[in-house]
Chains A and B, each alone.
Chain A
Amino acid sequence: MSGREYLGEFEQVVLLALLHLGEKGYGLAIRREILQRTGRSVSLGALYSTLNRLESKSFVDSWLADPTPQRGGKSKRYFQIRPAGLLALERTQRMLALMREGLSWNAVGEQ
């Protein structure tokens, strides 16, 4: 089923952020990455709900690191993109690129 699946807009944003972060992707870091690059402030609830959905589709993996005192004794939950996630991201991006072909932003803006 995942072979044909396309991703939603926010799912792509989250996966792209994960790609940028590499091995350092946990909730807060992803949130900051998105904020820094796009200026968009997302709630942790929305982020985790998306990450959980991606995980249930086997697009990402997650694991808990050791607890740190800075976080009130709580662990960081790290996320990493999986090959299936990468494929889905590529597929969606490609589809978007195909759909954009032949359009210029100006033309779109004038309509």
Chain B
Amino acid sequence: MSREDFPFLLRLANGALRLFLPSDDYEGISGDLREEYETSSQSTLWYWAQTIRAIALGTGGRLRAIREGCTTGWGKDIQQSIRRIVRTPGFSVVVVLTLALGIGANTAIFSFVEALLLRSLPFAEPDRLVQVHTFNGSESSRLSLREVADLNEQAKLFDGFAAYRDSAYNYGGDGGPAEHLLIARTTENLFQVLGVPLALGETWPKVNDRSRSFTVVLSYELWKRRFHSDPAIVGKQVLMDGFPNTVAGVASPGFSFPAHAMLFRCWGIDRDPNAYEARERRLALVVGRLKPGVSIRQARSELSSIAQRLARDFPATNRQIQFDIAPLQDTYAGAVRPYLVLLLGAVGFVLLMACVNVANLFLTRSASRQREMSIRAALGASRVRLIRQFMVESLIYSLVAGFMGFLIAYLAVGVISRIITVDLPPWMEVRIDNGVLLFLFGVSLLTGLLAGAIPAWRASRRDLSRTLSEGSRGSSKDSRVLQPLVAVEIAFAVVLLAGAGLMVQSFLRLLKVDLGFRPDHLLTFDMGLSWRKYNLDRARQFEQQVLSGLSGLPGVRAAIGSTSLPLTGRESTVPITVDGQTSERDQSRNPLVNFQQVSANYHQAMGVPLLEGRHFSDFDREGSQSVAIVSAHLAKRLWPGQSALGKRILPADVLAPWVPKWLTVVGVVGDVKHESPASEPGLDLYIPFIQAGTQHTSFAIRTTVDPQTLASAALQVVASVDREEPASEMVTMHQVVENTIWQRRLTGVVFAVLGGLALLLATIGTYGVIAYSVSQRVKEIGIRSALGARPPDILRMVAVDGARFIFPGVLAGLGIALLLGRLVSNLLFEIGASDAVTLGGVVGVLATVSAFACLVPAWRAANLDPLRALRDE
């Protein structure tokens, strides 16, 4: 068996032996183990058991050797430090726990920062990738395919632009269970723009993007799972959504875009070839690749001049339309970035507080070691030598704390991950990887240096003769050093508590927001019907059958359908024309509206209040007058000061194959939140299903029981109507709401924990300093008592001592909180960063708690027996 054949686990064991054993022992033992392993066919377990025992029994010898080998220098320092650490277990546990909490919290938050913000996208040179969108004044939107083509022709600073949009397919053509696949419809150059080669085959010809053709590239995972890694798959036809699709290629392993697509199909699908030329059909999300060395600013100015040209050439569609770009990475992590940066700052503060506390502990203890230090100095130890000894001890503490911090971070990442309910792209998985470990190590070292620096400096500056004459107690000057440190700590605590107060209140207020509908007892799911099997008539029938099946279930109060339920991020915005607007100028000022097809009972069942007019009814049918309901917000925007009832709107033709027609407004309903509870309510335009039709419907049932319990019954209803059409995304409305607010919940929860930690640390710090200063002044207090000072006098004396650093600390903290508050004000909801009640509360809490922390040692001092105090001294 050569070295290479020797199992990895056993080589690992040998590595451990080499690390821990003297070389002779390592040579002998690893040889013996190998010989026994090969000749007596022992197990790997046996090998490791032997290794561990050899290390356990041998390390003692190694340490002895270190100790004997270096009676001076680092070895000696390490040895003495370890001895001291072990000798004072209580002190050591407090130091290690304090640091470990700080290090652990930082590592946990950093692992999220690393995964969500720092880890680069799994595409070639991801820094050059940008997301392109259009905006019209304030509203941002997608691009039309024609505009993407314009950009590809005219933009010289880009290597290319690819269009894509999310979609879904039902796949069950191989006889296996029907499956709902998230897919991306893309132009053929997507893989080229992203710089990711295919594993098999090549993408479809360009012409397929602009014709009714069905060509797909499979994701590697889908190819493996549903096609058994068939090497001859290229060119074969697979049945998707009832259509035969030609497989052009297979993507490389792990590739997905934009996040979870299992399949990439060519853009073209429309029956109408002119559809690809329509500039107002802005459906395409666009990713572009900058040429090397081109800055975002340069690229923006080029796009701006292209937009101006288009506006001039095509005023009907491109007037006031601008292009903008942002780094592609922001698409994924942009929303969470400010929250994570804020949390990283907050845990940084906690770590600083932990360092201050530990520095305090060191200082307090170093006072009792002054004599030792002075004698050492007298015997010729240099100052550097004395500082080094302190630093070594501090570093050993921080490394042990680093290890514990790792465990804390590991647990915290698990807990926090559960708060993040959205599906992150696979490459953003949060884990403690090498980068995080490096961070952990760096933070541990830094912590050790920070916590050790001041005590080391102080301890080495002793005036020899004074210290020796003072006896073993420290001078009262020590607490003069400690006090500013604790003041800093209190300031940090104010900042963190203020942050916690604001974040938690923001979150609680968010939970209380009126969403415009009742989110409780709602179970929702999606259906995307096969286009081949379902024309609009049949789709309408399907929806009616499912709705009547669902409403017949026990425990169901009502069943509703809609093209986009609130907060699901599926709303589609369309331009509109309003009856009576004559000039093109008026038209172009019309807002984009949220266009929804809903079942007749939608507003009643969702709990959206009717403000004016009527609900949809069974009399609104195909062939009868085309009716619409608008939200109050939209009514006010379009017809300020007038009733909306009887007014007419024409939605633009973007939702083919539904043919748009003039709609008469018959009702006005309350506003509904669409993006998140914190967002502005949408401008909503509702029409009844029955007068339009769609293959993509979201269903919801309003239940009288826990909605989760009806999930399988709902699936059975769907299957009973059509077994081949799968329902997807079955979640309760509460989960849907949660998906839109998880960043704030995360921030609220983490901040609350950090605030509590900060309060605890500040209390311990204050208590420590006062207790120490009292212990330094026992003699003085004794004399004062003997001379007639009464307990209240003593109490006041100690309290004044405390107030001297508590008040400046609180004030400084308040100042910092107000200053930093301005940076976070846009992360807050319905509360100002300088909210007087919150800040006042924080000051109150901190002042009370630190007062109590002062009071305990003060009380003890006041009740000191003067005789005993003087005798003990």
Contact = CB atoms under 8 A, between A and B. Distances in A.
A48 B56 CA distance: 12
A73 B492 CA distance: 59
B54 A77 contact: no
Contacts of B31: 27, 67-68, 71-72, 74-77
Contacts of A76: 28, 31-32
A2 to B, nearest CB: 19
B27 A44 contact: no
B53 A45 contact: yes
Contacts of A49: 57-58, 60-61
Contacts of A26: 28, 32
A69 B24 CA distance: 18
A44 B33 contact: yes
B791 to A, nearest CB: 62
A74 B56 contact: no
Nearest to A43: B53
A77 B61 contact: no
A95 interface: no
Interface in A22-56: 26-28, 31, 43-46, 48-49, 52
B29 A45 contact: yes
Contacts of A27: 28-29, 31-32
B54 A43 contact: yes
B563 to A, nearest CB: 69
Given A43-B50, A45-B55, A71-B35, A64 B24 contact: yes
Contacts of A43: 49-50, 53-54, 57
B55 A77 contact: no
A36 B27 CA distance: 24
Contact of A48 (B25, B34, B35, B38): B25
B3 interface: yes
Contact of B27 (A52, A70, A77): A77
Contacts of B58: 45, 48-49
Interface in A71-85: 71-77
B225 to A, nearest CB: 43
Interface residues of A, number: 23
User: Chain B interface mostly helix, strand, loop or mixed?
Assistant: helix
Nearest to A64: B27
A31 to B, nearest CB: 7
B863 to A, nearest CB: 56
Contact of A62 (B3, B24, B34, B50): B24
B199 to A, nearest CB: 40
B24 A77 contact: yes
Contacts of B29: 27, 44-45, 48
Contact of B54 (A28, A45, A67): A45
B30 interface: yes
Contact of B56 (A45, A72, A73): A45
A77 B28 contact: yes
B50 A71 contact: no
B38 to A, nearest CB: 7
Nearest to B1: A72
B605 to A, nearest CB: 73
Interface residues of B, number: 26
Contacts of A75: 27-28, 31
A49 B61 CA distance: 8
Interface in B19-74: 24-25, 27-36, 38-39, 49-50, 53-58, 60-61
Interface in B395-415: none
Nearest to B51: A45
B6 interface: yes
Interface string B125-165: 00000000000000000000000000000000000000000
B608 to A, nearest CB: 75
A73 to B, nearest CB: 7
A40 B30 CA distance: 21
A44 B50 contact: yes
A62 B28 CA distance: 10
A88 to B, nearest CB: 21
A109 B813 CA distance: 79
Given A26-B32, A72-B34, A45 B3 contact: no
Contacts of B50: 43-45
B35 A28 contact: yes
A48 B54 contact: yes
Given A45-B54, A62-B24, A52 B32 contact: no
Contacts of A77: 24-25, 27-28, 31
Contacts of B3: 72-73
Contacts of B54: 43-45, 48
B41 to A, nearest CB: 14
Nearest to A77: B28
Contact of A70 (B28, B35, B57): B35
Contacts of B6: 72
A71 B30 CA distance: 8
B280 to A, nearest CB: 74
B362 to A, nearest CB: 37
Contacts of A73: 3
Contact of B30 (A31, A46, A72): A72
Given A27-B32, A49-B58, A70 B38 contact: yes
A28 B53 CA distance: 15
B33 to A, nearest CB: 7
Interface in B283-316: none
B833 to A, nearest CB: 62
Nearest to A67: B31
Contact of A52 (B33, B39, B55, B61): B61
A46 B32 CA distance: 13
Contacts of A28: 32, 35-36
Nearest to B11: A72
Interface in B483-531: none
B53 A46 contact: yes
Given A26-B28, A73-B3, A77-B24, A46 B35 contact: no
A67 B3 CA distance: 14
Contacts of B35: 28, 70-71
Contacts of B34: 70-72, 74
Interface string B521-565: 000000000000000000000000000000000000000000000
B26 to A, nearest CB: 9
A29 B31 CA distance: 12
A44 B3 CA distance: 22
Contacts of A74: 27-28, 30-31, 34
Contacts of A67: 31
A45 B48 CA distance: 12
Given A27-B32, A71-B34, A74-B31, A52 B53 contact: no
Interface in B615-665: none
Given A48-B58, A64-B24, A64-B27, A31 B32 contact: yes
Residue of B3, B31, B35, B61 with highest tally of chain A CB at under 10 A: B31
A72 B13 CA distance: 14
29 contacts: A26-B32, A27-B29, A28-B32, A28-B36, A43-B54, A43-B57, A44-B32, A44-B33, A44-B50, A44-B53, A44-B54, A45-B54, A48-B25, A48-B29, A48-B57, A48-B58, A49-B57, A49-B61, A67-B31, A70-B35, A70-B38, A70-B39, A72-B6, A73-B3, A74-B27, A74-B31, A75-B27, A75-B28, A76-B28
Interface of B: 3, 6, 24-25, 27-36, 38-39, 49-50, 53-58, 60-61
Given A48-B28, A52-B25, A68-B31, 17 more contacts: A27-B29, A43-B49, A44-B33, A45-B29, A45-B54, A49-B61, A64-B27, A70-B35, A70-B38, A71-B32, A71-B34, A71-B35, A72-B6, A74-B34, A75-B27, A76-B31, A77-B24
- What 6 A-B pairs come out closest when comparing CB atoms? A74-B31, A45-B54, A77-B28, A71-B31, A45-B53, A28-B32
